[in-house]
Structures are given as C-alpha cells and as structure tokens.
Amino acid sequence: MSTVSQVDGASATATAGKPLLSVNGLTIRYGGVVAIDNVSFDVPEGKVVGLIGPNGAGKTSLIDGLTGAVRPAGGSVSFQGQDVTGWSAHKLARRGLTRTFQSVELFDDLSVGENLLVAAERPSLTRALLQVLTPVQRSGQEDADWAADVTQISHLRERMPKELPHGQRKLVGVARALAGRPALLLLDEPAAGLDTDETRELGAQLRRLPEHGTSLLLVDHDMSLVLEVCDHILVIDFGRLIAQGTPDQIRHDQVVIDAYLGRQGGHDGPGGPGQPTGSGA
C-alpha cells in the first residue's frame, strides 16, 4: 500500500463527507482468477471518485461486482446506508445506483432521443422521492432533455445511434445512464474514443453532476481527465487497492507512478490509438 493512506479496513477512505456507497472487503472471482481482492473504499455523497489502474487490474470487475453483473465472492456493499450486496442491476437502478458500460449499449432501432426517454421513464425510487419532495413534478421527457443538455448531445436527438461516430455513441451512453437521475453513477471509461476537446468538455460536464444530485465513480485511462475531475482517486493493480488520495497526492505517489503512470507511455488501452492518455505528471 502506498504512502497516501491505509486501506486494510472499512474506515480507510481519506475523503470527508457522508458515504453514499461503502465497499468493505469486496472480492470478485472468476473461477480461479481473483479479479478484485479484499477492496474497501467509500464514495461520499456529492463527490467524484476516480478509479484507475492498468489494463486487467480489475476496474470493470469492481463495477460488475457493485452493480449486480457478477456476484461478489466476499465482502459487502452498502448504498445509502442499506446493504445491497448481490442486488440485481435492475433493483439497484431503481434505488439510484447505475452504471455505464465500457462498450456502449444502446437500442439501435430507437433514435437517440428515444433511447434517453426510455431510460428516463424507468421508475426509480429517486424519481419517486423527488416527485414527492419537489412541488413541480418532472416528466421523463424533462429528465431526458436534461441528460442530453448536460452531455451536450441535444442536437443529436433525432439521429439513430448507428449513424454516430464512436465518441458520440459514448456520450449517448452516458446521457442514457443520467436520464434515470441516479444518485450514484459508475462510469466505465466514458472518455475512451473521445478526442481531446470532447474529453475536456465531458470532464467539465461530469464535474458539475454532483451539483445536480449525481455523485460519480469514474473509471478512465485518461489521466488528465481523472486528475482534473476527481476529488479523490483510488488506484488498483492486480485486483488490490494499492493507493488512494487527492489528485495531487496520486500524481506524486511513487507506488502509483511505478504501477501505472510509468506504464502509460506503453499503455495499450481498450480505446486503441485514438484514446488520449496523459502522462499524469
């Protein structure tokens, strides 16, 4: 474990604030492969937490284990104070915890606008509570419009997903997840395939999401994005949490530099050659 902070216990996260998500000793196995090994951390409400690590470190497995795609072999997950370990993706989404996928998953026979509307109209506890608490009730259309606006894809609403380049499909995927107005969104490499300007714009929009009630766990290989957008960063390697801290602490952490940042030059990320990768320094 790096100098930044200890992680061998449930109370290890250095970030202040009320934990929205609390992960304790999570272990994910695929047969004999231990993809996530006894990992503990919190995501406080109103924060953007980054999750970085080399290819195959276990980042997607962690998201899978938190969102019902894979049943954890050990440990527990609590969300908004409730034990949600092993809950299905559907039940978690209704509760306000949702994710995006590394490979974009859209309904190709629906327009972009319809994709957002379908996601927005899924009933969720968050929506139900908001509708009780706010005098003016929001419609699914309003949430879909908001998600398109926040991700700056409003001009694409009439288009079919198949007509769009990869970068724009990624943004539609992010917008679709946001349209359900989740309390916590887990983003798996939203910037992969985006160019530098698109990534910067996405980062600016992501940064604002906590103000709109959505906290984030952001997985990405683009270090300039992660360092710019996140309040707190977790670093995993071979399934273990090796460091965590503020962007500044992570940027200067020797363990992180050795395990990850130093390898960035030769990084063969899933976004391929078009994927921006900063040096992080």
The piece of 29-37, 166-174, 194-202, 224-232 that touches ligand ATP (CB under 6 A) is 29-37
Interaction pattern, residues 202-241, with Mg ion; x per rule: CB under 5 A: ----------------------------------------
Residue 228: alpha-carbon gap to chain centroid? 15
Asked if 55 touches ligand ATP (CB under 6 A), the answer is: yes
Q: What is the CA radius of gyration of the chain?
A: 18
Q: Which of 114, 124, 187, 100 is nearest to 145 (CA)?
A: 114
Q: Residues binding Mg ion: what is the number (CB under 5 A)?
A: 2
Interaction pattern, residues 93-132, with Mg ion; x per rule: CB under 5 A: ----------------------------------------
Binding residue for ligand ATP (CB under 6 A) from 7, 35, 230, 257? 35
Please, which residue, 3 or 55, has the CB nearer to Mg ion? 55
Query: What SS3 state is found at 150?
Result: helix
Report the DSSP beta bridge partners of residue 49.
217, 232
Interaction pattern, residues 27-66, with Mg ion; x per rule: CB under 5 A: --------------------------------xx------
Interaction pattern, residues 59-88, with Mg ion; x per rule: CB under 5 A: xx----------------------------
Contacts for 256 with CB less than 8 Å, ≥ 6 apart: 2, 235, 242, 243, 250
Contacts for 176 with CB less than 8 Å, ≥ 6 apart: 100, 106, 115, 116, 119, 147
Q: Residues binding ligand ATP: what is the number (CB under 6 A)?
A: 13
**Alpha-carbon gap, residue 155 to 177, rounded angstroms:** 18
